[in-house]
Amino acid sequence: MRLGEITSTGPDGDTTILQDRKSGKQYSINEALKDGRLTQYDMSCYKEGKMSITEFSLLVAGEPSKPVFPPIIHSVPRSPIRTTPPSPLNYMPSSLRSSFPSLNSQYNSSTQLNSHNSGSLSNLTSTAGDEYFPISGILDTTTESRMSVRSALTRKLIDADTALKLLEAQAASGGIIDLAKKDKLSVHNAAERGLIDTSDMHKLLNAQKAFTGVEDPMTKDRLAVGPAASKGYIPQENARRYMEAQYLTGGFVNPSKAGRLSVKEALATNIIDSKTADELQDETTYKKELVDPITKEKISYKQAMDRCKIEPHRAPAASCSFY
């Protein structure tokens, strides 16, 4: 696309639009911000000359682009590591250790969502520091086959929005899960393995920043998702989903410190505010954004996790199913 900027003044103030000079098609920057295709951080990078107009226009238009970030050496987004008593984690390579949950009490187990045989995972959020897998895959009980979220979407077992929300939760809590390799991957490496659609990369990269940290363009500090949202670098609605995923999988992430944080610890370090803390501890505030393929009812991410069961004698990778 060959685009130029057009700024018009209306009742609501100045509106900036990108126009394709060849086709005449116009793209509203305000709409892109509202829809979450663009963030204030992206705007800052563009205005400061750190992002080309070509890359910026692809974000505004919502079109997939080739990764413009340097290749990530480690396939797992690096997570702070909390020292724990002897555990299988201690004998893993450091690049993989952070991608697996604490296995002290659940070694050689995994979670599997199954509406016909469910057990609650409510107790998994009680202890900060222990990480638990998010909803990680789909089980088709008609064939007893486990598959990735993307494969399930391709087979029409789940809808596109449910698939994206599941993948966002993975990215925000440690990485995209490869069930075949029993590994967690960065968004770029997940795309290379075909675990995600490249058209979702921008949204998933934003979710990944909730785990790895968001760079403040002014101070160059790496911010946790809560402070980043308060400064406008992540849309508030998206930030809430990311924080919910972290809370439900073991605690909040502070990019500058080790381990996961409890609500109390996160409040003390300004990772979250009191309003967010109250909401996350009240399940009635959780948005119902996932669709149960059997009942077609809207359910929250927490409700989906509660429909999981512990699956013994499986490698430590979670598999979830609505079937």
Residues 54 and 185 grouped into a single domain: no
Q: Where a domain ends, among 22, 46, 61?
A: 61
* Same domain membership, residue 99 and residue 229: yes
The verdict on residue 196 lying in a domain is: yes
Same domain, 123 and 228: yes
Q: What's the Cα-to-Cα distance from 150 to each of 46, 77, 83, 132, 160, rounded to whole Å? A: 31, 20, 34, 21, 9
Q: Is residue 68 part of a domain?
A: no
What value, to the nearest 5°, has the Cα angle with vertex 275 and ends 82 and 271? Answer: 30
Q: Are residues 160 and 291 in the same domain?
A: yes
Assess if residue 298 is contained within a domain. Answer: yes
Mean pLDDT of 223-236: 94
Residue range 12-23: mean pLDDT, rounded: 64
Range of the domain at 212: 88-320
What pLDDT score does 229 carry?
95
Tell me: the pLDDT tens digits for 237-254?
999 999 999 999 999 999
Q: How many CA atoms lie within 13 A of 186 on its CB side?
A: 18
For residues 246 and 241, give the distance between their C-alpha atoms in angstroms, rounded to a whole number: 9
Final residue of a domain: which of 61, 76, 97? 61
Write down the pLDDT at residue 138. 81
pLDDT tens-digit readout, 290-318 = 998 778 899 999 999 888 755 554 433 34
Q: Are 24 and 151 in a shared domain?
A: no
47, containing H or E segment: helix 40-47
What Rg do the C-alpha atoms of the chain give, in angstroms? 20
Query: Is the domain of 116 the same as that of 14?
Result: no
The verdict on 46 and 120 lying in the same domain is: no
- Specify whether 163 is located in the same domain as 32: no
Domain tally, the chain: 2
Angle at 197 between CA 184 and CA 236, to 5 degrees: 75
Percent of the chain with pLDDT over 70: 65
Q: Same domain for 54 and 105? A: no
Contact present, 171 and 188 (Cβ < 8 Å) = no
> From CA 170, how far away is CA 178, in angstroms rounded?
11
Same domain, 50 and 100: no
| Ramachandran sector of residue 313 (left: φ over 0; alpha: ψ -120 to 50; beta: rest) | left
Q: Are residues 199 and 309 in the same domain?
A: yes
Q: If pLDDT is split at 50, 70 and 90, which confidence band does 65 have?
A: very low
More confident: 85 or 285 = 285
Of 217, 212, 275, 40, nearest to 225 (Cα)?
212
